[in-house]
C-alpha cells in the first residue's frame, strides 16, 4: 500500500526493478528524496544510474515497483506537473547551427512559456550560468564545457522545482566541475531539489544524501558522513610518533571507545574509535602515561573512492545470491 504523499517529499522509489530482454539492469532499488536537497546517485558506468533517471522522469516504466515524483507516477504528472521538472540527459542534443539564444528560445518554447516569461527566464538562466555574454555565439563554436553549461541552461530555463541531471560533469575539467556544483548549491539555496547521477565518487561530498550503485543495486544509502563512518566502522585517528615503538600499541593503549589499532608504518598508527572528538584527548593521555611522544595526531577521513570500495566489499560478503532476488 502506497503511503499518503508528504509535502516535504519530492521523490520516492520503492522496490523498483527494470528489465530489458529478460536482463535486470535496476534491481530492487528504494530511496526517498526530500524537497530542497541534493541527492547523489553515484556509481560506475553501467551500474543502472541512467536507467533509473529515465524511470524517474517517465521515459521508462518500471518492470516492478513504484515510483512517485511530486506525489504522482512520473508518466501521470500531466503537462502542469511536468513543467515542474527539469531534465539534463547524459547525451543532450544542441542545435549546433543555432546561437546560444536561439537554442534557449527553442527550449523555452517546449514548456509553453509566454513571451514575457521567456525573455525573463532565458536571461536569468544565462546570467546564472555565466553564458549571457556568449548569447550570440553559435552552439558549435562553444567549448565542450560551455556546451555542457548551455545544456544545463536549457534544462533550467522554465525554472523547475526538481532538476534531474544525468552525469552533468562527465568529461569536463575539474574547474568546470566545481563551477557546476557551485551552481547546484545555489539552486538548492533557492529551494530546488536536485537528483544528480555521477561516476565521480568524490562528488558524494557535495550531496545531502547519497545512494552508491553497483551492478544495478544500491550498495549503501545515507548521508556522506554516515557512509564514511560506516565504511570504517566509526571514526579513526592517525598518530605519528616521535620514534619507533617495538611491539604492538594495541597491547598497551586501551580505553573505552577504542575498537582496534592498525600499524601503518614504523612510527604511524591508526586508532579506530567510536567517536574521534571525544577520544582524541583520551588517546593523548594514554600515550603520555606510557611515555610515548606523538609528533602529530589527526582524524583520518577516508576519501570516497576508499569508502565506495569498502562498502562494496562489505556488500559482496553479505549480499544474497542474485538468483534468489529476481522479480516475479
Q: 97: part of which helix (H) or strand (E)?
A: none
Integer angstrom CA distances of residue 242 from 140, 245, 271, 276, 293: 60, 9, 17, 21, 6
Name the grid cell of 154. Answer: 536549457
Q: Is residue 42 part of a domain?
A: yes
Report the candidate in 162, 186, 187, 167 with the shortest Cα–Cα distance to residue 177: 167
Asked if 273 and 212 sit in the same domain, the reply is no
Answer with the one of 196, 228, 260 that is the final residue of a domain.
228
Q: What are phi and psi of 259, to 5 degrees?
A: -95, -50
Query: Considering the chain, what percentage of its residues have pLDDT values greater than 70?
Result: 95
Cα distance between residue 10 and residue 129, in whole Å? 25
Query: Binning pLDDT at 50, 70 and 90, where does residue 328 land?
Result: low
| Span 164-185, average pLDDT | 90
Asked if 177 and 124 sit in the same domain, the reply is yes
Cα distance between residue 184 and residue 196, in whole Å? 9
Query: Binning pLDDT at 50, 70 and 90, where does residue 320 land?
Result: low
For the beta carbon of residue 290, count every other beta carbon within 10 angstroms. 11
Query: Binning pLDDT at 50, 70 and 90, where does residue 324 land?
Result: very low
Answer with the one of 228, 255, 272 that is the final residue of a domain.
228
- Total domain count, the chain: 2
Asked if 19 and 129 sit in the same domain, the reply is yes
By residue range, what is the domain housing residue 72? 9-228
- The CATH number for 272's domain is 3.30.70
The DSSP letter of residue 124 is H
- Looking at the predicted structure, is the pLDDT value of residue 179 above 50? yes
Cα distance between residue 142 and residue 96, in whole Å? 9
The DSSP letter of residue 2 is P
Dihedral angle of Cα 139, 141, 143, 144, to the nearest 10 degrees: 50
Asked if 51 and 73 sit in the same domain, the reply is yes
Query: Binning pLDDT at 50, 70 and 90, where does residue 175 land?
Result: confident
Q: 205: part of which helix (H) or strand (E)?
A: none
Asked if 196 and 237 sit in the same domain, the reply is no
- Looking at the predicted structure, is the pLDDT value of residue 316 above 90? no
Integer angstrom CA distances of residue 259 from 126, 232, 235, 239, 256: 53, 11, 10, 15, 9
Cα distance between residue 284 and residue 231, in whole Å? 25
Q: Is residue 312 part of a domain?
A: no
Cα distance between residue 100 and residue 106, in whole Å? 10
Asked if 215 and 276 sit in the same domain, the reply is no
- Looking at the predicted structure, is the pLDDT value of residue 111 above 90? no
Contact 145, 174 (CB under 8 A): no
Beta strand spans in the chain (E): 9-20, 23-34, 38-42, 64-69, 85-88, 162-166, 193-198, 209-214, 217-222, 235-241, 258-265, 268-273, 294-299
Q: pLDDT of 119-148, one tens digit each?
A: 999 999 999 999 999 999 999 999 888 999
Asked if 118 and 219 sit in the same domain, the reply is yes
DSSP H helical ranges for the chain: 49-56, 78-82, 100-110, 115-128, 144-156, 174-189, 224-232, 276-289, 304-318
Cα distance between residue 54 and residue 260, in whole Å? 44
- Looking at the predicted structure, is the pLDDT value of residue 5 above 60? no
Report the candidate in 273, 262, 269 with the shortest Cα–Cα distance to residue 235: 273
Supply the pLDDT for residue 317: 74
- Looking at the predicted structure, is the pLDDT value of residue 1 above 90? no
User: CA angle, 71 as apex, 197 and 64 as ends, to 5°?
Assistant: 65
Integer angstrom CA distances of residue 9 from 5, 95, 112, 157, 306: 7, 36, 27, 23, 31
Q: pLDDT of 219-263, one tens digit each?
A: 999 999 999 999 999 999 999 999 888 888 888 899 999 999 999
| Span 173-194, average pLDDT | 93
Query: What residue has cell string 529478460?
Result: 22
Amino acid at each position: 500500500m502506497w503511503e499518503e504523499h508528504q509535502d516535504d517529499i519530492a521523490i520516492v522509489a520503492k522496490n523498483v526493478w527494470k528489465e530489458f530482454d529478460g536482463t535486470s539492469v535496476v534491481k530492487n532499488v528504494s530511496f526517498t528524496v526530500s524537497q530542497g536537497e541534493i541527492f547523489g546517485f553515484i556509481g560506475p558506468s553501467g551500474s543502472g544510474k541512467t536507467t533509473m533517471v529515465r524511470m524517474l522522469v517517465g521515459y521508462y516504466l518500471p518492470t516492478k515497483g513504484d515510483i512517485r515524483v511530486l506525489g504522482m507516477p512520473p508518466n501521470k504528472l500531466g503537462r502542469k506537473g511536468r513543467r515542474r521538472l527539469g531534465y539534463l540527459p547524459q547525451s543532450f542534443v544542441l542545435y549546433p547551427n543555432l546561437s546560444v539564444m536561439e537554442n534557449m528560445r527553442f527550449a523555452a518554447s517546449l514548456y509553453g512559456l509566454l513571451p514575457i516569461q521567456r525573455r525573463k527566464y532565458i536571461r536569468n538562466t544565462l546570467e546564472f550560468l555565466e553564458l549571457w555574454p556568449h548569447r550570440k555565439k553559435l552552439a558549435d563554436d562553444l567549448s565542450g564545457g560551455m556546451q555542457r553549461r548551455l545544456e544545463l541552461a536549457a534544462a533550467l530555463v522554465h525554472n523547475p522545482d526538481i532538476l534531474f541531471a544525468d552525469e552533468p560533469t562527465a568529461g569536463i575539467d575539474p574547474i568546470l566541475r566545481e563551477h557546476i556544483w557551485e551552481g547546484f548549491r545555489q539552486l538548492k539555496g533557492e529551494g530546488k531539489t536536485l537528483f544528480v547521477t555521477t561516476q565521480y565518487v568524490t562528488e558524494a561530498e557535495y550531496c545531502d544524501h547519497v545512494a552508491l550503485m553497483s551492478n544495478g543495486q544500491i550498495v549503501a544509502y545515507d548521508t556522506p558522513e554516515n557512509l564514511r563512518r560506516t565504511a570504517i566502522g566509526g571514526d579513526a585517528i592517525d598518530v605519528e610518533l616521535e620514534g619507533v615503538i617495538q611491539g604492538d600499541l594495541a597491547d598497551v593503549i586501551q580505553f573505552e571507545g577504542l575498537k582496534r589499532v592498525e600499524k601503518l608504518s614504523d612510527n604511524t598508527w591508526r586508532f579506530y574509535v567510536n567517536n574521534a572528538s571525544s577520544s582524541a584527548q583520551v588517546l593523548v593521555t594514554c600515550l603520555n602515561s606510557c611515555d610515548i611522544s606523538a609528533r602529530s595526531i589527526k582524524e583520518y577521513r577516508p576519501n570516497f573512492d576508499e569508502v565506495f570500495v569498502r562498502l562494496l566489499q562489505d556488500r559482496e560478503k553479505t549480499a544474497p545470491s542474485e538468483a534468489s532476488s529476481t522479480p516475479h
